[in-house]
Amino acid sequence: MSGRATAPRGARGASDARVAAGSQGVARFVLLGLVGVGKGTQAKRLSARLGLAHLATGDLLRRHQEEGTELGLLAKGYMERGELLPDDVVIRMVLGELEKEACRPGCIFDGFPRTVEQALALDRAVGPEGVRKVLYLQVPEEVLLRRLSGRLVCRRCQTPYHRESAPPRVEGKCDVCRGELYQRADDRPEVVGRRLQVQQEELVPLLNYYARQGKLLRVNGDLGMEAVEEAILAALGLLAPRG
Ligand code: AMP
């Protein structure tokens, strides 16, 4: 299979931020945050802005599933149950990606590492300075609860909607296929609350690991998409002073 990690898109006109990011060698950044904080969105934006590959393990595993590879078959059960895959499997996949041409200038990790074991393996592979900084996107829990528990999905074509931010034109009906909209069992407020709590508990050891290395940067994710991107670049010291 070819080209797994996504090469940067929208690469027109090298920005100052990109030049600054590249001037210090291979630029690898990790994005951390709970489900719903907008990690994937920011990873894509940063990838384009900084000219780095976007290495999203969830996306890679979904693509493996679509292509019916051995890894995809293995991943299916874990992903359907919402469980993490074994560390050694994910580590092997990520290290394979890192060797590809698309990752040569650097990459944005999205969804990896998820455990300290994975963080240790990454450090062993790229060296102690191989990961430059780790960005922790923070959004208050009540905002996440509102974002996640407002989600609706079409039963027929799976198009996602949101009660507040992206409602359908006709209540309860899909704009695309007129199918019935429903709330997934794991998006019900009581379940979402539990999912967030479990994720937060899993995140703490990773946050501590990177804080001890002096690499952890906390960024307010409760802003508009562009403002969060600017906040990330500012935290990384990659924004040219406005003149
Ligand atoms: P995501 O799209 O990042 O939410 O990931 C979807 C699913 O893929 C997760 O629920 C896990 O089953 C699996 N997965 C993604 N990244 C990892 C990882 N770093 N370690 C273990 N499992 C992962």
Residue 2: predicted pLDDT: 42
Distance CA 194, CA 192 (A): 5
Q: b or e along 86-104 (b: 16 or more beta carbons within 10 Å of the residue's beta carbon)?
A: ebeebbebbeebbebebbe
Distance CA 142, CA 61 (A): 30
Residue 164: predicted pLDDT: 87
For residue 58, report the distance from its CA to the centre of ligand 1, in Å.
5
Q: b or e along 35-67 (b: 16 or more beta carbons within 10 Å of the residue's beta carbon)?
A: ebbbbbebbbbbbbbbbbbbbbbebbbebbbee
Residue 2 lies in a domain: no
**DSSP notation for 88-121:** HHHHHHHHHHHTSGGGSSEEEEES---SHHHHHH
Choose one of 87, 108, 114 to mutate for the ligand 1 pocket test, by most ligand atoms within 8 angstroms of C-beta: 114
For residue 157, report the distance from its CA to the centre of ligand 1, in Å.
23
Using CB atoms within 10 A of its CB, is residue 172 exposed (0-12), middle (13-18) or buried (19+)? exposed
Residue 4 lies in a domain: no
Q: What amino acid positions are annotated as catalytic residues? A: 39, 114, 151, 184, 195
User: In the chain, how many domains are there?
Assistant: 1
Residue 145 lies in a domain: yes
Residue 161 lies in a domain: yes
Token pair listed for 120: 């240790």
Residue 198: predicted pLDDT: 85
Which residues have CB under 6 Å of ligand 1?
Answer: 57-58, 61, 78-79, 82-85, 90, 111-112, 114, 118
Distance CA 36, CA 146 (A): 10
Per-residue pLDDT tens, the chain, 243 aa: give them. Answer: 444 676 665 444 346 788 777 777 889 999 999 988 989 889 999 999 999 999 999 999 989 999 999 999 999 998 888 789 999 999 999 999 999 999 999 999 999 999 999 999 999 999 988 999 999 999 998 999 888 889 898 999 888 899 988 999 999 999 999 999 999 877 888 888 888 888 899 999 999 999 999 999 999 999 988 999 999 999 999 986 554
Distance CA 225, CA 154 (A): 25
Distance CA 177, CA 122 (A): 44
Residue 11: predicted pLDDT: 42
Residue 167: predicted pLDDT: 95
Q: Which atom of ligand 1 is nearest to the CA of 114?
A: 19
Domain range for 42:
26-235
For residue 85, report the distance from its CA to the centre of ligand 1, in Å.
7
Helices (H), the chain: 16-22, 39-50, 57-67, 70-81, 87-98, 116-126, 141-149, 189-212, 225-235
Residue 20 lies in a domain: no
State the CATH number of the domain containing residue 122: 3.40.50.300
**Residue 158, phi-psi category: left (phi > 0), alpha (psi -120 to 50), beta (remainder):** left
For residue 59, report the distance from its CA to the centre of ligand 1, in Å.
9
Q: Is the peptide bond before 113 cis (omega within 30 degrees of 0)?
A: yes
Report the alpha-carbon angle 42-200-214, nearest 5.
65
